[in-house]
Amino acid sequence: MTIPTGVTKANKEIQTVHKLQWDQTDLPQYIESVQTEISKLQLTQNQSNSIQNITKALLTASNKAVPTKPIKLKGPKWKASPRVKKHLKNCKQLYSKWKSEGKQADHPFRKQLKAEKKNLRSQQRKEHAEDRLNLYQQIMDNPSTDLFYKLINRNRSKPRTNSTGIDIEGELEFNPAIQRKAFAKYYEDLSIPKESKFDNSYLELCQIRQHLVEEVLYNQQTTIEPYKEDDVSKAIDNLNSGKSPDEYGLCAEHLKLAKETKSHPSGPLRLKEEAHQMSSLKFLNLNFGNANSTHPVWDSVEQNLIEIRKASTKVRMLTGTYMVQADKHKFSQYTIDPTCLLCHREIEDILHVLTQCPVLCNERKEYFTPIKQLVTENSPPGTWELLFNNKLAVTQLVLDCTKYMKQLGFKEELILKLETFTRHFCFKLHYKRISLLKKLDG
């Protein structure tokens, strides 16, 4: 066994690079393609998947409607001289003749082809050497920044790199046997467990800092202005055109041209149909409002950080993205126990967290009282006993009270007030639950 001293890059690693000609875009076709691709998208709760799908739609549209031109071809970068082209032509002709004769090993055409290939390689090496000498001579005679960068780039792009020696403890070793022993010793050292020098004082300091940061963020009253559609549109307009694409292949022109795209007329209906089929959205009132309006859970939020955090927690519970033991049980292929880690009595789902877990009883009683009082004081007598006589109905009221708007007869002002109480209720239970789980984890 020997350690290889050279690495040769395969030609297939070199890809042809094309540049999009945005000034020649077929705009109607681009917009139509974007609309078609977006109409095919499936409703997803994963924001990352949504971004990937939209990116794919934009790239598909540009492939159809935007012409391209090659700016980097696959293959060697050097240009063949007339002499090299002549040798190449002779090689092709001799190979064709040899092939027509059955590719006999002792045929004269094969010997001529071998000699012509030797002449071709000799001519290529000669021209490459002359090119190097010319560059060095230019640097010596008339040095410039461009020539030095040309030399650096040429050295960096060499297809072969030689590494015959390895630095071992400050000494350069060229013997393959010693190099193998050095590698074996290195990996053996990695496999042996080392004594852990854990710094408990540093851990305690980090925990104190984390607690202080969480406390500051919890009490901070920072006003946050949500982004509007006009803000996003202006940001897109300010993107620089004519630049290279990002790691996903998107340019500023992708977004600028896609601004003219309008949603498919059947899009909201299709999204609503898909939402009705999702069990995670069973508490969300899909018949309230439309695609262009916001839900009261957001309309009732004040513009400060803590209220936005509370609303985000409630929205996660409402849309089925709040992680409880039942979800962990399902996502782990039923290897994790779905039983509540706090009370160890029942399966922990969102219904259990909000209405049943006895460990959260004190917080539930304290913060649920204003909710019940608001409903009973502003609705006909007996409404509470009629509508909310079971835990499922109470959970529905807490997560999305708009489902009972007609029965309660609440106007917008009372709906927003009720949303404020339920948002506070959900966050307090969440905060208590997380605190207890952290203590259990140690």
pLDDT confidence of 223, banded at 50, 70, 90?
low
pLDDT of residue 3: 42
pLDDT at 267: 54
Asked if residue 172 lies in contact with residue 166, where contact means CB atoms within 8 angstroms, the answer is yes
| Contact indicator for 147, 138 with CB cutoff of 8 Å | yes
Highest mean pLDDT pick, 40-49, 226-235, 289-298: 226-235
Where along the chain do its domains lie? Answer: 82-156, 284-441
Q: CA-CA distances (angstroms) from residue 368 to 296, 391, 393?
A: 19, 13, 14
Query: Which tens digits make up the pLDDT trace of 273-304?
Result: 777 778 888 888 877 766 567 788 888 888 78
Between CA 342 and CA 440 the distance in angstroms is: 9
pLDDT score of 433 more than 90:
yes
Give residue-wise pLDDT tens across range 166-210: 778 878 888 878 888 887 888 788 777 777 677 788 888 998 999
Which residue would you say has higher pLDDT here, 132 or 270? Answer: 132
73 or 338, which is more confident? 338
Angle at which helices 267-276 and 27-39 cross, to 10°: 20
Residue 2 has pLDDT above 60, yes or no: no
Task: Tell me the pLDDT band of 150, cut-offs 50, 70 and 90.
Answer: confident
pLDDT surpasses 60 at 159:
no
The predicted model gives 38-55 an average pLDDT of: 72
Q: Residue 30 class from Cβ within 10 Å (0-12 exposed, 13-18 middle, 19+ buried)?
A: buried
pLDDT reported for residue 304: 82
pLDDT at 156: 62
Cβ neighbours of residue 193 closer than 8 Å, sequence gap 6 or more: none
Average pLDDT over residues 224-251: 84
pLDDT on residue 289:
63
Using one digit for the tens of pLDDT, what is the confidence trace for 372-390? 999 999 888 888 888 898 9
CA 81, 86, 89, 94 dihedral sign is negative
- Predicted local confidence at residue 27, as pLDDT: 87
* Rounded Cα–Cα distance for residues 98 and 123 (Å): 23
Q: Is the dihedral of CA 79, 81, 87, 93 positive or negative?
A: positive
Q: What is the mean pLDDT of residues 52-77?
A: 82
pLDDT at 14: 59
pLDDT one-digit tens code per residue, 76-128 = 566 788 899 999 999 999 999 999 988 888 899 999 999 999 999 999 999 98
Average pLDDT in the chain: 82
Q: What is the pLDDT of residue 269?
A: 62
Q: Which residues contact 371 (CB under 8 A, 6 or more apart)?
A: 397, 398, 418, 421, 422, 425
How far apart are alpha carbons 209 and 328 in whole angstroms? 30
* pLDDT score for 93: 92
